[in-house]
Chains A and B, each alone.
Chain A
Amino acid sequence: MSVATKRPASVLLFTNAFLIFWLILAAFPFVWTLWGSFKVEGDFFSKADWANAIFGKLTVAETGGNFTGDGYYGAWVQEEFWRAAINTFIVCFLVVTISLTCGTLGGYALSRSTHRYAFWFLFFALIFRAIPPITLVSGYLLPFYEWNLWGHLSTTIIVLVAINQPFTLWMLHSFFKNIPKDLDESAMVDGCNRFQAFRHVIIPVMWPGVITTGLFSFLLAYNDFAVTTMLLSKENQTMVPKLASFLGTTQTKGNVMFAVAAVVSITAPLFVMIMFFQRQIVSGLTAGAVKG
C-alpha cells in the first residue's frame, strides 16, 4: 500500500463504522429471510407479533420443531425447482456469452470511429433503452405466437441479449476508449488488419472491462422477470418466474414459503460464484474497468 492510502485512525474508524452500518442495512433483510425460510408462513409473515418470526411460535405448534425444511422440500422436490435452476443456468451462460461477443465487437468499433454516425448509433441505442420493457414484451407476443417462437429458451435468450445490448455497448464503449489507440494502430502499421489488431492486441488487455460488463449482463439475465415471465412456457421457466408462480394471485397456504425458500436458494449460488470468482472480479475491477 502506498503512502497516500494510509489512513489516520479516526478516519479509519469512521469509514469502518459507516461500512458496517451499510453492510447491516444491505444484508439484514436477507439474513432475516434466511432465518425465516425455516419457519412456517404464519410466523414469517406474522401479523400478530413480529417476534414470532424469530421464535417461531406457530412453527413449534404446527411442525413440532423449531425449524422446518418444508419450504425447501416443497420448492425443490414437489415443485421441481431444479428444472428452473438448469434453465436459468443455460439462459445466463448464453446471454452473457452472446452479449459480450456482440458487445465487445460493437463497443470497440464505436470507440475507434471518429465519424458522427458512431455518436448517433450510441444515441439511438440509449433512446432504445428508454422504452419500458413491458411495452416491448407485449409487442413481441403476437408475432412470437404467430411464428411459433413463443415459449422457447432460445427466443428469450435472444430477446434478453437485444434488450440489454444498449447498456452493454455503452459500458464497453467507455471502456475501450480507455485503452490507448496507439496499441492497435501500431499493430496495424505492422501489417495487421483491423480484426487481427483487435484479436491480437485488444483482446488480451480487455478482460477487466469485459468481466465487469459480464457481471452486469449476468445479473440482468439472472434476475429478469418482465421478459421471462411473459415469454417462457411452463417447462422452460427460469427461477424468477417459477418463484413468482409460487406466489400467484391467490396465495395458497404454504406456497408462499416455497417462494421464500426459493429466494434463499437463488441467492446461494451467487454467493458461491462471487466467492469463487472474487479474485477475477476484484482484479477485473482493479485493472481499470469502466471509464465514462
Chain B
Amino acid sequence: MNMIKTAALGTVMAVLTGTTAMAGGHACAITEGRLSIVGNEFPAIQSVAALAQECASGVENDSNLTADHQKINVAGMTGNPAEYTSAIIANSSIVALMNEDVIRPLDDLVAMYGADIPAHQLITIDGKVMAVAFMANAQHLVYRKDVLEQIGMDVPTSYEDVLAAAEKIRAMGIMENPVGGAYAAGWNLAEEFVNMYLGTGGEFFEAGTAKVSINNAQGVEALEMMKALTAYMNPDYLTHDSNATSAEWEAGNVALMNMWGSRTGVLMDDEGAAEVVYSNTMAGGPLTVGDSGAAASTLWWDGWTVAKNISDEDAAATFQALAHATSPALLNDETMSQAVWLMDGFDAQPVNEGVLATVAAGAAPYPMLPYIGLLHSALGDNLAEFLKGEESAEQALMDIEAAYTTAATEKGFL
C-alpha cells in the first residue's frame, strides 16, 4: 500500500521538480572565483556537492568528500589561501572550525546573494550567520508493525514501554533479542547516552562554564535505562554501530530500535530483507524516559560554511554555488528521499515521519558547545565498562568526568 502511495507521489514530484530544476538553472552563473568543498561522503552531501560543482563549472571547482573529513578540514582551511573554500559540517563539528577561527561570518554574503535563503536555514551564533543548514536528522523509534500486533501492544512512546514490549516478545518466543540500538563503544554509544541523559532532563555542564556535571541522579537513571535495554539486545551490542544494527534489522532479528532517520529509507526498501521485514518496518516518534516528559533524542543539522582565509571572489563564488545547491533546485525525485531537506518545496516521504515527529516533540538540538566534543569522546571511552558490569554507574560517571576534565584542561577550557 505504502509502496504504491510513494510511487504515485514520486511521479507527481518528478513533474513538479522538473520545472523547479529548470527555473533554478538560471540563478547560477559563476564567472570568477573558486569552489573547493570538503565534507562527509553520504549520498545527500554527494548530491549537494555535485550540484554546487555543476553551478561552478565555469571556474575552478573541486570536492573532497571523505569519511576522514574531520581530520583534514581544519588543516585544509588554515593556510592562506585555504585549500578548501567550504566545509560541510554538522552542529557537532562546526564548533571545531569556530574554535580554530577558520570560517567567516556570512552576513555580508547573505545580504548580497542570499535573499532567497529562508531564515530557518541560517545558523546564527551571537547574531552572526556562520553556516547555512540544508538537512535535518534525528534518532527515533523504528518498529515492526506485525510483531507489535502479534503481542497486542500499542506503539511504544517511552523506553519503559519498549522494555515491556521486549519482555513480551521474548516471553512469547517471537524473538530472542528484540531490541536493537547502535551501542558500539565510542561515538555511537556516547550518542545514545547523550540522548538518554537529555531525556531524563539532565544538563551536561554548569550553566555558562565548561565544568561538567553528569554524576547525578539523572546520569545514573540514564545509565540504568541503557543497561536495562541491553538485556534485550544481541550480546554483541558493544560492537554494533548503526551499519551493523541496520543489518540486524534487515535479518529480521529485531523488532524495536532507536535509529537515525537517515537510515530508515534503506530499511523500508525491498533490497536486502525478506518481504515480511521491510513491509512492516515503521518509523515512530522519539521515545521518552522516566517522567521528565522530554524526548530522549537530539536534533541534528548538516550545513555548509565558507572559509575565512580566501579572497572575496572565492568566498562569493563558493557562497553562490552552495546557496544554489541547497535551494529548491536540488530537489528532484532522486534526491527527495535522501534526507529531510530544510529548503522550501521539500515533501516529506513516509521514511521522514520519524524525524519530523522528533522535531515536533520538541527534542533538544545536539548542544553546540566548544567543549562538547571532548565530553562525547570521554563518554565513548568509559561507558562500556559499566554496561559490561565491571563497574558501578557512579564509578563510570566519575571516570567520565575525570577524563573530560583532563582533556578540557589541556584544551584551555578549564
Direct contact of A and B (CB under 8 A): yes
Bound-state Cα–Cα, A141 to B76, Å:
8
Q: Is A145 on the interface with B (CB-CB < 8 A)?
A: yes
Specify which of A41, A42, A47, A244 lies most central, judged by the most chain B CB atoms within 10 Å of its CB. A47
CB contact list, B260-274 vs A, under 8 A = 262-263, 266, 269, 271-273
Query: Chain B residues near A230 (CB, 8 Å)?
Result: 68, 71-72
Q: Is B364 on the interface with A (CB-CB < 8 A)?
A: no
Least Cβ distance of A282 to chain B in Å? Answer: 40
Q: Is the CB of A142 within 8 A of B262?
A: no
Residue interface mask A224-258, B partner, CB < 8 A = 1 = 00000110011000000000110011111110000
Q: Is the CB of B252 within 8 A of A234?
A: no
Bound-state Cα–Cα, A146 to B74, Å:
12
CB contact list, A113-156 vs B, under 8 A = 138, 141-142, 145-146, 148, 150
10 A–B contacts from the bound complex (CB under 8 Å): A47-B247, A141-B71, A145-B75, A145-B82, A146-B78, A146-B79, A245-B66, A248-B41, A248-B42, A253-B269
Q: Is the CB of B248 within 8 A of A47?
A: yes
The residue in chain A whose Cβ has the minimal distance to the Cβ of B234 is A47
Least Cβ distance of A142 to chain B in Å? Answer: 5
Least Cβ distance of B8 to chain A in Å? Answer: 24
Q: Is the CB of A253 within 8 A of B71?
A: no
> A47's contact among B43, B62, B65, B253, by CB below 8 Å, is which?
B253
Bound-state Cα–Cα, A141 to B64, Å:
15
Q: Is A46 on the interface with B (CB-CB < 8 A)?
A: yes
CB contact list, A78-120 vs B, under 8 A = none
On whether A150 and B76 interact (CB within 8 A), knowing A47-B250, A48-B252, A249-B41, the answer reads: yes
Query: Chain B residues near A229 (CB, 8 Å)?
Result: 66, 68
Bound-state Cα–Cα, A250 to B40, Å:
10
Query: Chain A residues near B63 (CB, 8 Å)?
Result: 234
CB contact list, B80-99 vs A, under 8 A = 82-83
Residue interface mask A11-52, B partner, CB < 8 A = 1 = 000000000000000000000000000001110011110000
The residue in chain A whose Cβ has the minimal distance to the Cβ of B84 is A145
Tally of contacts, chain A with chain B, CB under 8 A: 74
Q: Is the CB of A251 within 8 A of B78?
A: no
> A141's contact among B65, B72, B82, by CB below 8 Å, is which?
B72
Least Cβ distance of A253 to chain B in Å? Answer: 5
On whether A45 and B247 interact (CB within 8 A), knowing A248-B41, A249-B42, the answer reads: yes
Size range of the chain A interface in the assembly: 20 to 34
Bound-state Cα–Cα, A226 to B155, Å:
46
Q: Is the CB of A252 within 8 A of B43?
A: yes
Bound-state Cα–Cα, A138 to B266, Å:
35
> A138's contact among B71, B247, B269, by CB below 8 Å, is which?
B71
A-B complex: 10 closest residue pairs judged by Cβ atoms: A47-B251, A141-B75, A42-B272, A146-B79, A48-B251, A250-B42, A249-B67, A251-B243, A145-B79, A142-B75
Q: Is the CB of B272 within 8 A of A253?
A: yes
The residue in chain B whose Cβ has the minimal distance to the Cβ of A52 is B251
On whether A245 and B247 interact (CB within 8 A), knowing A48-B252, A145-B78, A234-B64, the answer reads: no
Q: Is B242 on the interface with A (CB-CB < 8 A)?
A: yes
Query: Chain B residues near A142 (CB, 8 Å)?
Result: 75, 78-79
> A42's contact among B40, B75, B273, by CB below 8 Å, is which?
B273
Query: Chain A residues near B248 (CB, 8 Å)?
Result: 47
Bound-state Cα–Cα, A41 to B271, Å:
9
Bound-state Cα–Cα, A255 to B134, Å:
25
Q: Is A172 on the interface with B (CB-CB < 8 A)?
A: no
Q: Is the CB of B72 within 8 A of A62?
A: no
Bound-state Cα–Cα, A233 to B71, Å:
14
Q: Is the CB of B272 within 8 A of A250?
A: no
Residue interface mask A53-86, B partner, CB < 8 A = 1 = 0000010001000000000000000000000000
Bound-state Cα–Cα, A245 to B263, Å:
18
On whether A62 and B83 interact (CB within 8 A), knowing A142-B75, A245-B41, A250-B262, the answer reads: no
The residue in chain A whose Cβ has the minimal distance to the Cβ of B241 is A249
Query: Chain A residues near B263 (CB, 8 Å)?
Result: 250
